Structure 1
Amino acid sequence: MSDAPAAPVTEQGVPPVAQTEEVPSFKVFIGNLAYSTTDEGLKAFFEPVQSDIISAQVIMRGNRSAGYGFVALSTVEAAQKAVEALDKKQLDGRQIIVEIAKPADQKENERKDRKSRRRPGRRGSRAVPGEVTEAEANGEAKTEDAAPAEGEAPKLKKKKKKTVKKSIAKASAPDDVAEPAAPASEGELFHRKRTPRPRRAVGEEPAGEPSKSVLFVANLGFNIDDAALAALFTEAGINVVSARIVRRQYGRPRKSKGYGFVDVGDEAEQKKAIEAFEGKEVGGRPIAVKIAVNAQARETKENGDADEGTSEVAIVAA
C-alpha cells in the first residue's frame, strides 16, 4: 500500500485547480516604432536584458502597428538597464524612445488632472446649468450667463446694427441729371465689349484704296510667325520690308488667326509676289496672296501690333 498522501477531493469529486503565483513584471514603454517592427524584432532589440524578458508586444490598431509597444521585464533593475542602454537608439530606421512605463492608476490620475485644469468655456468643460464650476468657485472664471439678482432687470444683448452702403452721388443727384461716368480702370478698358464690325457679303468688294506696297496673305498655318512669313517671301526672291501675322486679341500666348500682311516696298514687287505664290502650298495649305486695302486699320489696332502714327491694312482687295 502506497504511503503517498491522497489528493484532496471537492464535494463534486473533482480535485481543485492548483493556483500559480503571478510573477511580478516591470514594463518598459517603447515609442516611435516603425510600422514594420514586429514582436520578435522588438524582443531581439532588447538583447542587453534578454534573460529578463517576460514578454514583448507591439500594440496594433487593426492590422497596422500603432507605433509603440511594451516589454515586460522580471526586475526593476533590468528595466532601468534597458532604458539606459537602448533609449534614443535606432531600430528599423527610427530613433526610438525607451522609458519606464507608468502604472495604470498614475496615468488615470494624470488624465483627470489635465481635465480639471481645462480652461472654462471650452467644449466638454461647461458645468450643468445652475451649477457652479470649480474654476468659478475659485474665482478663476467669470460667470457670463449668471441669473439676474432679485428685483434686477435682465440685461438684454445689444444687436449689431447692419450698415447699408448708399451711393452719395446717386442720392444727391437730381433725377433728370445724368451721373458722370466714373473713369474706367485699365482692366475695364481691356475687357470692355466692342461693337461687332459688320461682315461683308460674299463677293462684295472691300471699301478703300488698294495698297501700293502691302500684300494680304491668307490660309497660313497657325504655327507660322512673323519671321517665318518673312522668310517665305525672301526665299521666293521677293524684297520684304516687314511681315506681320495677325493674332487674336486675348490669350497668353496670343494665337495666330491664320493670315497676315507683308510689305514688299512697291507695286512691282507686289505683282511679282502674286505671280510667284499663285497656286503654291505652304505646309499642305494652298495660300492666297492678294493686294491689301488701306481703308480700315481696326484689326491692327485691336491686336496692338501697329506703332502709333503708322498706317496699316486690314482688308484685302479683290
Structure 2
Amino acid sequence: MSDAPAAPVTEQGVPPVTQTEEAPSFKVFVGNLAYSTTDEGLKAFFEPVHSDIISAQVIMRGTRSAGYGFVALSTAEAAQTAVEDLNKKQLDDRQIIVEIAKPADQKERDRKDRKPRRRPGRRGSKAVPGEVTEAEANGEAKTEDATPAEGEAPKPKKKKKKTAKKPKAKVADDEAEPAATTTESEAKPPRKKRSPRPRRAAGEEPTGEPSKSVLFVANLGFNIDDVALAALFTEAGINVLSARIVRRQYGRPRKSKGYGFVDVGDEAEQKKAIASLEGKDVGGRPIAVKIAVNAQAEEVKEEAAVEKEDTPEVAVAAT
C-alpha cells in the first residue's frame, strides 16, 4: 500500500477545487497618451521592464481612447524603475506621464478631502441652529439669532425706522462745477450743408469747360481704390499727380461708385493716357478714359473734403 495521503472527498464524492493565489501586481498609471496609442504600443514603450510586465491596457471610452492607461508589473522595484526611466519620455509624439497608481481606497479618501467643507459663520451663510459661530466665540458678534431656551418665547424682531430723505441743497450758479473741457477734435464746427447738385440724365455728357490736366475714368471694379487707380496709370508710364475714386456719401465704409478722376498734370499726359488706357481690360471690365470737365474736377475736390471730415481724428493727450 502507498503511504501517500488520500485526497479529501466532499459529500458528493467530488474533490474540492483548490484556489491558487494570484501573484500581487504593482500598477503604474500612464497619462497624456495619444488617441492612436494601442495596448501593444504601450507594452512596447515599457521595454526597460518588459520581463516584469503582467498586463498593459489603454482605457477606452466606447471606441475611443480616454488618453490614459495602466501597466501591471510583478514587483515594486520594476514599477519604480519604470517611473524613473519613462516619465516625461515621448510616445507617439506626446510627453508621457508615468506614476505609481494609487490604491482605490486612497483615491476615495483624496476625493472626499477635495470636497469643500462648510465653514460656519461665513458671510452669506447661516449657522446651524444652536451652533456658535467663530465670530461669536471670539466675542465679535452678538448671538441674536441663537435659538431660545426651552420655555422662553422668541423675541420679536425690531422694525427699522424709516428716515425721511433730506432734499439736496441747490447749488448756486456761481458755485456750480465747471463744465468739462473739450478737446479740439470734439469742438469742431458743424459741417456745412452742401447744396444738392442737379443730376444729369442717363447718357448725357457733362457740360462745362474741358480740364487741361484731369481725366475721367469709368467702368472700374468696385474693389479698386485710390492706390490701385494711380498704379494703373503709372504702370502705363503716365505721370500721376493725384488719383481719387468717387465714393457714395453714406455707409461705413463708403463704397465706390465705379468711377474716379486722375490728375496727370498737362494735356500731353492726357492724350498719352487716353491712347494707352482707353478700352483696356481691367478685372474683366473695359475701362473708359476721357477728358474731365472742370465741373467734374470740382466734384472731386468736394468729395475729398467730405471724406476728410468723415475721417475721425485721434486726439493725442499732452504728456
For structure 1, the residue ranges without an aligned partner over 5 or more in a row are: 157-168, 173-181, 306-318
Counterpart position of 2:309: none
Question: d(CA) in 1 for partners of 2:301 and 2:259?
Answer: 14
Counterpart position of 2:53: 53
Contact residue 210 and residue 292 of structure 2 kept, 8 A: no
Q: CA deviation at 1:256?
A: 6.6
Q: CA deviation at 1:220?
A: 2.7
What is the correspondence of 1:28-67 to structure 2 with a 5 Å cutoff? 28-67=28-67
Query: Structure 1 residues 212, 81: CA separation in 2 closer, same or farther (over 3 Å shift)?
Result: closer
Q: TM-score, normalising length from structure 2?
A: 0.54
Query: Structure 1 residues 217, 151: CA separation in 2 closer, same or farther (over 3 Å shift)?
Result: same
Query: Structure 1 residues 136, 84: CA separation in 2 closer, same or farther (over 3 Å shift)?
Result: same
Q: TM-score, normalising length from structure 1?
A: 0.54
Amino acid at match of 1:282: G
Q: Find the residue that maps to 1:282 and give its secondary structure.
A: coil
What is the correspondence of 1:1-318 to structure 2 with a 5 Å cutoff? 8-11=9-12, 16-115=16-115, 147=145, 150-151=154-155, 153=157, 194=193, 197-200=196-199, 202=201, 210-211=208-209, 214=212, 217-218=215-216, 220-222=218-220, 225=229, 245=244, 247-248=246-247, 255=256, 257-260=258-261, 281-283=278-280, 284=286, 288-289=290-291, 291-293=293-295, 297=298, 299-304=300-305
Q: Deviations over 1:142-167 (max 9, x none)?
A: 99xx94775363798xxxxxxxxxxx
Contact residue 213 and residue 263 of structure 1 kept, 8 A: no
Q: Deviations over 1:259-318 (max 9, x none)?
A: 5376877xxx69xx89x979x953245655465359x9455223239xxxxxxxxxxxxx
Q: CA deviation at 1:197?
A: 1.0
Q: CA deviation at 1:62?
A: 2.3
Aligned sequence identity (%): 46
CA root-mean-square deviation: 5.8
Query: Structure 1 residues 247, 119: CA separation in 2 closer, same or farther (over 3 Å shift)?
Result: farther
Question: d(CA) in 2 for partners of 1:93 and 1:231?
Answer: 52
Query: Structure 1 residues 197, 10: CA separation in 2 closer, same or farther (over 3 Å shift)?
Result: farther
What is the count of residue pairs matched by the alignment?
A: 264
Contact residue 230 and residue 262 of structure 2 kept, 8 A: no
Question: d(CA) in 2 for partners of 1:213 and 1:229?
Answer: 18
Query: Structure 1 residues 64, 230: CA separation in 2 closer, same or farther (over 3 Å shift)?
Result: closer
Q: Find the residue that maps to 2:259 and give its secondary structure.
A: strand
Amino acid at match of 2:69: G
Contact residue 120 and residue 126 of structure 2 kept, 8 A: no
Q: Find the residue that maps to 1:55 and give its secondary structure.
A: strand
